Amino acid sequence: MENPGLTPKQQAISKILAIGDSYTAGVGSNGLPDHIDGSYSCSRYTQAWPLQLQGNGDWSQFNGDTRPEVTFGACTGAKMDDVMQKQLNQGDPNPNLEYTNIGKPQIAVMTVSGNDAEFGAAINDCILRAWLPSDCDQTLTRIGNEINDTPFENKLIDTLIHVMAAGRQAGGTNPPEAFQIYIAGYVGFWNHDNPACDDVSFGYWRWSKPKLTRDLRKRMNDLVDQLNGVIKSVATQMSGLGVIYVEGFQTTYEKHRFCEPPDEADYLASPIGKKTWFWHLDSPNLINGGEGPDAASTEGFEDRAQEVIDRLIPDKAQQDSLSESNPPWNLDAFKSEEAFYAALDTAIGNDTEVRINLDEGTKRIFHPKGSAYTPYSDAFLQAIRNNRNPVNAASPSPTPSPSPTQPAPYATGTCSFHLNEYEAPCVTDSKDLSADIVLKDNAGTEIGNTNGNKGINDGASLFLDSKLPSQLVVTGEHSGDYVQFTYGDLSWTNTEPKKDGDVTLAYCNSGGWDPREGPVCGRVTQSSKRQMDCYFRC
């Protein structure tokens, strides 16, 4: 096994939670008619890789007789905050809701952070320029700086902590710590070496044709690799908790990206055939689904930009006046991506056919087609298989001999810990909180210790190992001035106890800060400190 840490033995996967952004939702994946009705604006599609994963026939090779069900909650356009706030609700799933409850999964599969990195802005500012663009070079530089920034990495860690906590709390695994997260990255859009594409443009408007130079294509591909590196690094850091990075599918996209040789100039400019695995602005809306004409064909070219103009600027004279010096960005409907889709939504009304063609047809641009998601599905299945103990199909087995009784590693009942929290002076809020902890079991025997001061900052929580079956997760929060604790499916703060009806499951008694005014940063520095004693069922 690649990551045996907390993986359970002989537990079949019966429920998969699929969450995250459009690369998991599969927007437009096998043609626009395959949109799942209950997903609404989240734009989930039937050929998205989580549903291909569910349908893979190889589950029986390691998962016994069980073919997992998928709770499909991914949402096109989702950022990390959306995952934490909208996609992790406890309760029974309902596929007819835009944001379904998570059910009782054993694993989560996902992609996330591409929207936080603003790759959509790069596509608009450097390629399409459909709505008001910013400077392309500045946008790419900003994205690179954002991905490299510590808060971005910390936000991804925090997101995965929330997913892990929700999965453990859901009760689909025994023990709760057996819950796993499988997360993948993204794919570069371009062959960035082909000089034949240097004079090609995918510009949205006939008078705005930014060129697809080799430098631009390589910078964009490099940013995808950079983001994937951060995702992999975070997953590796959290591997002991059951987070696994999924990779190996990116190379299968070679020869199927935009600007692949030896395509002719007309196809490079309008790559809508099946051989290209990403949707293009000109890709036709096929009534019966599908991924475009055979091979490198431009048959069925669709002028979607003109259809959008006809809806948003119906006055022909005003349309004719549009030019490089009088772009549509001067109109409110083209001031931003949000304004663009809001105006389109109003203009389309209840015309489902037009909505599918224009709204969904624009959202799917630069997203993979259904066949391009098969490598994702295969890579996820292989990663899951590599990180689970195989479950054999049901068969009679002899009754095992009783094992000698082993002494319990700790006294069950109510465990407790004493915590000293420190706020350091002259340090940014993202790094200034730390704590030392002594953990005791129901008999008062020490079963865990931080062995000194350890950071407890938001996005860089403390994970305390002990003789308990679950880690104690500790996170200090400046907003609200509290400390968040998670143990298994218990979650509470030093100010808010955890109750089940009238029964208190976890609580803390906290003192105040000393000095009361907080840490002192100056010629003489001084940390601020407070103490608390906490109790929880164990």
pLDDT tens digit sequence for 117-133: 999 999 999 999 999 99
pLDDT score, position 157: 96
Q: What angle do CA 425, 429, 433 make, to 5 degrees?
A: 70
Beta strands across the sheet bearing 472-477:
462-464, 472-477, 482-487, 490-493
> pLDDT confidence of 429, banded at 50, 70, 90?
confident
Please state, for a pLDDT cut of 70, what percent of the chain lies above it: 91
Q: Is 135 exposed, middle or buried (0-12, 13-18, 19+ CB in 10 A)?
A: exposed
> pLDDT confidence of 393, banded at 50, 70, 90?
low
> Residue 483 in contact with residue 421, Cβ under 8 Å?
yes
Kindly tell me if the per-residue pLDDT of 441 is higher than 50.
yes
3 state SS for 438-488:
EEECCCCCEEEECCCCEECECCECEEECCCCCCCEEEEEECCCCEEEEEEC
> Can you tell me whether residue 508 is helix, strand or coil?
strand
**Distance from C-alpha of 355 to C-alpha of 336, rounded to nearest angstrom:** 19
> Can you tell me whether residue 376 is helix, strand or coil?
helix
Strand partners, 526: 520
> Can you tell me whether residue 423 is helix, strand or coil?
strand
Mean pLDDT, rounded, for 157-178: 94
Q: What is the mean pLDDT of the chain?
A: 88
**Phi, psi dihedral angles at 418 (to 5 degrees):** -100, 130
> Can you tell me whether residue 69 is helix, strand or coil?
strand
Mean pLDDT, rounded, for 262-271: 87
Query: Residues 448-460: pLDDT tens digits?
Result: 999 888 899 988 8
**Distance from C-alpha of 520 to C-alpha of 424, rounded to nearest angstrom:** 8
Who wins on pLDDT, 46 or 357? Answer: 46
Strand partners, 282: none
**Residue 28 identity (one-letter amino acid):** G
Show the tokens assigned to 49. Answer: 């890789």
Query: Residues 467-523: pLDDT tens digits?
Result: 998 899 999 998 889 999 999 888 999 999 988 877 788 898 888 888 887 887 765
**Distance from C-alpha of 123 to C-alpha of 130, rounded to nearest angstrom:** 10
Kindly tell me if the per-residue pLDDT of 198 is higher than 90.
yes
pTM score, whole prediction: 0.72
Kindly tell me if the per-residue pLDDT of 350 is higher than 70.
yes
Pairing of strands 243-246, 414-423: unpaired
Mean pLDDT, rounded, for 383-404: 66
> Residue 24 in contact with residue 74, Cβ under 8 Å?
yes
Which one, of 54, 61, 53, 62, lies nearest residue 12 by Cα? Answer: 62
> pLDDT confidence of 5, banded at 50, 70, 90?
very low
Kindly tell me if the per-residue pLDDT of 150 is higher than 80.
yes
pLDDT score, position 107: 97
Please count the CA atoms within 13 angstroms of the CA of 513 that sit on its side-chain side.
Answer: 15
* Of 3-7, 132-136, 275-279, the least confident: 3-7
Strand partners, 181: 108, 243
My answer on whether omega of the bond before 262 falls inside 30° of 0, hence cis, is yes
Please state, for a pLDDT cut of 90, what percent of the chain lies above it: 56
> Can you tell me whether residue 535 is helix, strand or coil?
strand
> Residue 417 in contact with residue 440, Cβ under 8 Å?
yes
**Distance from C-alpha of 18 to C-alpha of 16, rounded to nearest angstrom:** 6
pLDDT score, position 504: 82
Kindly tell me if the per-residue pLDDT of 400 is higher than 70.
no
> pLDDT confidence of 10, banded at 50, 70, 90?
low
Which range of 9-23, 142-156, 353-367 scores highest in mean pLDDT? It is 142-156
pLDDT score, position 100: 94
Place of tokens 């599908």: 290
> Can you tell me whether residue 428 is helix, strand or coil?
coil
Under 8 Å CB-to-CB from 182, ≥6 apart: which residues? 107, 108, 109, 110, 244, 246, 380, 383, 384
Strand partners, 107: 16, 180
Q: How far lies 179's CA from each of 92, 104, 111, in Å?
A: 18, 10, 17
Q: Is 405 exposed, middle or buried (0-12, 13-18, 19+ CB in 10 A)?
A: exposed
Mean pLDDT, rounded, for 403-416: 73
pLDDT score, position 395: 44
pLDDT score, position 363: 87
> Residue 312 in contact with residue 343, Cβ under 8 Å?
yes
Which one, of 518, 473, 381, 524, lies nearest residue 160 by Cα? Answer: 473
> Residue 537 in contact with residue 491, Cβ under 8 Å?
no
Longest pairwise C-alpha distance within the chain: 89
Kindly tell me if the per-residue pLDDT of 262 is higher than 60.
yes
> Residue 171 in contact with residue 103, Cβ under 8 Å?
no
**Distance from C-alpha of 219 to C-alpha of 223, rounded to nearest angstrom:** 6
Kindly tell me if the per-residue pLDDT of 409 is higher than 60.
yes
Query: Residues 275-311: pLDDT tens digits?
Result: 999 999 888 876 666 777 776 665 656 677 888 888 8
Around Cβ 209, how many Cβ atoms within 10 Å?
16
